[in-house]
Structure 1
């Protein structure tokens, strides 16, 4: 890795925040970014029971994941420019309100088709929280300080994928999968109150951009022409697609193939999230001592190595004791990929942070949504399809990074 000797200064607003102020922002913004993992991971232990209850095939139930991921990507394309035009607070509160209503609809869904549609609406609401949280970080920080804050944000939001499947598994002991969506609706209500009363506006009126369709399209095209942004966005999207392949398939693979019950599965899934969170904090300590590009390359290499080991181990029938640590290696590498790629992608675009955050998110979630049905398409009788598809996505992510994200002179 390449050492860094000159740190990048913080943005003025972030520099003026006290330690308690930074902690408050980290908790609130972490809660907003937790919409995604909570909405995805909490109901994973209930997918087999959901398929039985709704008389639906596993592939149809997995579409509830794909609908959410595609919806959360598309929603960011709308929420990003709106937050650049009207500030961060108003679009955020509208989005959280939609999330609450859609979560109630999910809990009441009579068929899998209604559930898929409700999940798409739920995702549109969640998108506002995710994109505006990233944009708010860019409003406050720049350079190394921004990468460090994104790592701190992942510490807070990273608790969500650890706790979500555990909470979901335990909830299934006392309620059905419908009760899980009721809990998500309550979580949305709590975040609405916190955001309404404790999250200040971070985008001054003088810094706002008109909400015009033509202007938004030109901004998006300009971002896509920026090689570092495009390379980092593709890297994030492809790496997340590898992770999401595991997320969408792990419930069936670990329970149906390796025989774990929902409660054990929830703890095993949470264990991988622990590795992800720990690596984000290791990354936070390394940022400033090594370049973000070097750390990103290291994370991609580690994650790709884990997918290759998992594929070979599953094909050789070595069992969960070998496959699972390799998967954990993938998740650990992702803890270095996500904060560094996100910070690099947004670093050069302070004047359009909402749009940059939106485009970053839509590429991430749409690519991940496309990965969801692939495991079922290639077979669910072993862990090989899951691990091999993860390897392909990570290899493509590393290729995108090496091709587009070149060091500056």
Structure 2
């Protein structure tokens, strides 16, 4: 499962009045798409790669989880906030230069992390890099929409999405191996190299936006945000996704401490085990693609949300009832994998539902949905660091609370929407 696969929906939708590529546009193909895949993957890889290194970073700087979790939570806030900026900026000034600027920030952030003498500067580097990585996540999809004929956009987007899912799935395993063999600093050596490669590729890309200086005014965008947030049906989808992703980000930040400090896994072992979550999300996502046309979005959300609630509550009950389970990583990863599978079934439907409430505001809806997901993930991550007590209970209880809350929000807001109708 990856942050990228769920959250990066800003500017995804082909504009109904988008022109076909100009005759001077480069011919779409692998030479154009492959660099985009590498650029867009840099953000998710950086977010996931350092997770197995968090305990080692805390030990190096003599700080607790409340501090190391800021490497994730503040990066998420910077990432989500920047998503709302890069898209409109590229609508007005073109895609290429903002993309180059974003990759410069990403590489600079990784470089600052590599040489940071204090945890505060390390956090600053993570924030800087996350703000830059958001450009790659948003603008590469906009470039695909710009340059591909309408009948090829869906296929090209699928290939680009694979670049946002597969590399992050393997990133924790690489990060764990590097931490075990060479130390946590080597994670940032790799990220600096990746950032420089992304910068070279972004510099060589053509400008694809032929409609510059026609972006929506900020006042109109704020008006769209205000309108959507007053709609119970929109809130049912957006807030369901936010709460569901809070459960995932709680695992993302809390599982390394639980697995390595309390269940005695190695960083490389944790990285390999984490692949199960990504595979579970992919399977759930594929099942959703097959079942959603027949069952509908709302039923898929209820089905996936119900599965996450059952898994999270079962994990808490097993943890409370069988003391030996507290020392076993199997309980942690089985619970997390089933939650990831349920999220794979429900989250894409929630995102599609949010953008379908007011089709003329699909871009604004995607921006709000992605932003609240990142903010909720950051809150869950930081809260878990604060309540960390050296046992698995805070992590399991927070995942359960977030899963229950997601389903309760969806059912409650849908009820309000029906009453309003």
TM-score when normalising by structure 2: 0.81
Question: Using the alignment, how far apart are the partners of 2:149 and 2:411 within structure 1?
Answer: 26
Structure 2 equivalent of residue 42 of structure 1: 49
Out of 391, 401, 413, the position equivalent to 1:392 is: 401
1:171 maps onto 2:178 in alignment: yes
Q: 1:117 to 1:93 in 2, by over 3 A?
A: same
1:101 maps onto 2:97 in alignment: no
- Tell whether the 8 Å contact from 1:138 to 1:346 is kept in structure 2 after alignment: no
Structure 2 equivalent of residue 364 of structure 1: 373
Q: 1:330 to 1:345 in 2, by over 3 A?
A: same
Question: Using the alignment, how far apart are the partners of 2:59 and 2:362 within structure 1?
Answer: 44
Q: 1:87 to 1:280 in 2, by over 3 A?
A: farther
Q: 1:55 to 1:383 in 2, by over 3 A?
A: closer
Structure 2 equivalent of residue 56 of structure 1: 63
Question: Using the alignment, how far apart are the partners of 1:271 and 1:368 within structure 2?
Answer: 20
- Tell whether the 8 Å contact from 1:155 to 1:281 is kept in structure 2 after alignment: no
Structure 2 equivalent of residue 335 of structure 1: 344
Q: 1:226 to 1:288 in 2, by over 3 A?
A: same
Question: Using the alignment, how far apart are the partners of 2:179 and 2:225 within structure 1?
Answer: 43
* Structure 1 position 254, deviation (Å): 0.4
Structure 2 equivalent of residue 258 of structure 1: 263
Q: 1:62 to 1:35 in 2, by over 3 A?
A: same
Out of 214, 218, 221, the position equivalent to 2:219 is: 214
Structure 1 equivalent of residue 89 of structure 2: 82
Q: CA RMSD in A?
A: 3.5
Question: Using the alignment, how far apart are the partners of 1:352 and 1:224 within structure 2?
Answer: 12
Question: Using the alignment, how far apart are the partners of 1:350 and 1:92 within structure 2?
Answer: 27
- Tell whether the 8 Å contact from 1:69 to 1:366 is kept in structure 2 after alignment: yes
- Tell whether the 8 Å contact from 1:138 to 1:350 is kept in structure 2 after alignment: no
Q: 1:161 to 1:312 in 2, by over 3 A?
A: farther
Report the 3-state secondary structure (helix = DSSP H, G, I; strand = E; otherwise coil) of the residue aligned with 2:124: helix
1:299 maps onto 2:308 in alignment: no
Structure 2 equivalent of residue 158 of structure 1: 165
Q: 1:197 to 1:296 in 2, by over 3 A?
A: farther
Out of 228, 235, 238, the position equivalent to 2:240 is: 235
- Tell whether the 8 Å contact from 2:247 to 2:403 is kept in structure 1 after alignment: yes
- Cα shift readout 1:314-371 (whole Å, capped 9, x = no counterpart): 2222523334312210011111223222222224566555543332221111111011
Report the 3-state secondary structure (helix = DSSP H, G, I; strand = E; otherwise coil) of the residue aligned with 2:215: coil
Q: 1:155 to 1:341 in 2, by over 3 A?
A: farther
* Structure 1 position 69, deviation (Å): 1.0
Structure 1 equivalent of residue 24 of structure 2: none
Structure 2 segments unaligned to the other structure (5+ residues): 1-13, 22-26
Report the 3-state secondary structure (helix = DSSP H, G, I; strand = E; otherwise coil) of the residue aligned with 1:400: helix
Q: 1:378 to 1:82 in 2, by over 3 A?
A: same
Question: Using the alignment, how far apart are the partners of 2:299 and 2:35 within structure 1?
Answer: 30
Q: 1:134 to 1:310 in 2, by over 3 A?
A: farther
Report the 3-state secondary structure (helix = DSSP H, G, I; strand = E; otherwise coil) of the residue aligned with 1:205: coil
Out of 304, 307, 312, the position equivalent to 2:317 is: 312
* Structure 1 position 167, deviation (Å): 0.7
Structure 1 segments unaligned to the other structure (5+ residues): 1-9
Give the length in aligned residue pairs: 394
Segment drifting more, 254-263 vs 53-62? 53-62
Report the 3-state secondary structure (helix = DSSP H, G, I; strand = E; otherwise coil) of the residue aligned with 1:172: helix
